[in-house]
Amino acid sequence: MLITRTIAETRAAIAQARAQGKRIGFVPTMGYLHEGHLQLIDIAKEHSDFVVVSIFVNPTQFGPHEDFAAYPRDFERDRRLCEARGADLIFAPEVSEMYPERSLITFQIEKLADHLCGARRPGHFNGVVLVVSKLFNIIQPDVAVFGQKDAQQLIIIKRLVHDLNFPVRIIAAPTVRESDGLAMSSRNVYLSAEQRAQSPVLYRALQRAKALVESGERDARKIIAEMQQLIATASEAKIDYIEIVSTKDLQPVERLDGQVLIALAVYFGKARLIDNIILEISGAHVREIAALP
């Protein structure tokens, strides 16, 4: 497995793989890897012959009072995990390599960043779209794999690729959970023992929403109210948002129909945890979509 720190080395290594006729798969991450990330590597390997994992805590997607400095980092551990999982290259640039100066070109995202994390973290998705565009231009992958755990990010990236004609296929990966339902996240290390014990309430709230929809409930306000009530039973939980939006435009729905994203962000202490489910509703029929096509 190769490790590169500069854009020039990365381009040279990928050019060599391409010259051997290999298809390039790409898994962008911020490191501190867990099974959710490693599953993305497995999926990338199914669809390509040379898998690049980027490890870069991207400053432009953090707000001024967010956890950029505190974000957990352990390159040696990440290196071992990537190697064991069969990645071919880790691209782990310094901030100065990716941003030798502040980018004067930024993106404007209409509609898709109006709600959910986009509303709570102003500028976040601009930073995501900026770094992903740069990484796509550096790596020029045939396929790139993103987790549905970050559903808003996934939908915005799919639209970025569509609108800007990036020649890459985006593949969505289902959310990997701990055995008690907590979605895996690098930020779970922030949780105290008590907060960790309470945190599965998020998954239970999503399952409760699904059960309500399956039993015929279509009123978004009622479903959200039940989820709020359930989460309020966890003394450490502070709800940032619970929203139900259409997956088409990420705008809130009043009545559930078609494909909807039920998403939440909840603080446990300083850990802001996000989770979601996607349901496809057609008449009385309800189906959960683990990975958007």
State the CB neighbour count (10 A cutoff) for residue 224: 20
Question: Smallest distance, Å, CB 236 to ligand AMP?
Answer: 20
Binding mask 185-204 for ligand AMP (x = CB under 6 A): xx------------------
Residue 30: CB minimum distance to ligand AMP, A: 4
Q: Choose, by CB under 6 A, the member of 53, 90, 98, 183 that binds ligand AMP.
A: 183
Contact flag: residue 40 with ligand AMP (CB under 6 A): yes
- State the catalytic residue, choosing from 37, 115, 124, 285: 37
Asked if 37 is an active-site residue, the reply is: yes
For 243, phi then psi, to 5°, come to -140, 155
56 binds ligand AMP (CB under 6 A): no
Nearer to ligand AMP, 30 or 156 (CB): 30
Q: Would you state the structure tokens that stand for residue 55, as one six-digit string? A: 């490890």
- Kind plus residue range of the DSSP H or E element containing 169: strand 169-173
Of positions 3, 176, 286, 289, contacts ligand AMP by CB under 6 A:
176
Establish if 30 lies at the interface with ligand AMP (CB under 6 A): yes
Among 29, 133, 195, 199, which residue sits at the site for ligand AMP (rule: CB under 6 A)? Answer: 29
Nearest to 126 by CA among 147, 145, 143, 105: 105
- Please tell me whether residue 60 binds ligand AMP under the rule CB under 6 A: no
- Does 26 bind ligand AMP (CB under 6 A)? Our answer is no
Contact 175, 148 (CB under 8 A): yes
90 touches ligand AMP (CB under 6 A) = no
CA-nearest of 26, 32, 17 to 80 is 32
Q: Which is nearer to ligand AMP, 134 or 149 (CB)?
A: 149
Site size toward ligand AMP (CB under 6 A) is 16
Nearest-5° angle of CA 123, CA 116, CA 98? 30
204 and 181 in contact (C-beta within 8 Å)? yes
H helical segments located in the chain: 7-19, 35-47, 75-85, 95-98, 116-120, 124-139, 151-164, 193-198, 201-214, 220-232
**Any contact of residue 62 with ligand AMP (CB under 6 A)?**
no
Q: Fill in the per-residue mask, 134 to 173: x = in contact with ligand AMP (CB under 6 A), - = not in contact.
A: ------------xx-xx----------------------x
Taking CB under 6 A as the criterion, the residue among 10, 60, 126, 175 binding ligand AMP is 175
How near is the Cβ of 35 to ligand AMP at its closest, in Å? Answer: 7
CA pair distance 24, 241, nearest whole angstrom: 37
Q: How many CB atoms lie within 10 A of CB 131?
A: 21
Q: Spell out the residues 6+ positions from residue 233 whose beta carbon is closer than 8 angstroms to its own.
A: 201
Note whether 1 and 82 are within 8 A (CB): yes
CB-CB contact of 263 with 275 (8 Å)? yes
1 vs 176 by CB, closer to ligand AMP: 176
Longest dimension (CA), the chain: 57
Q: Which residues, in sequence order, are bridge partners of residue 52?
A: 26, 89
Would you name the residues annotated as active-site residues?
37
Q: Rule CB under 6 A: which residues touch ligand AMP?
A: 29-30, 36-37, 40, 146-147, 149-150, 173, 175-176, 183-186
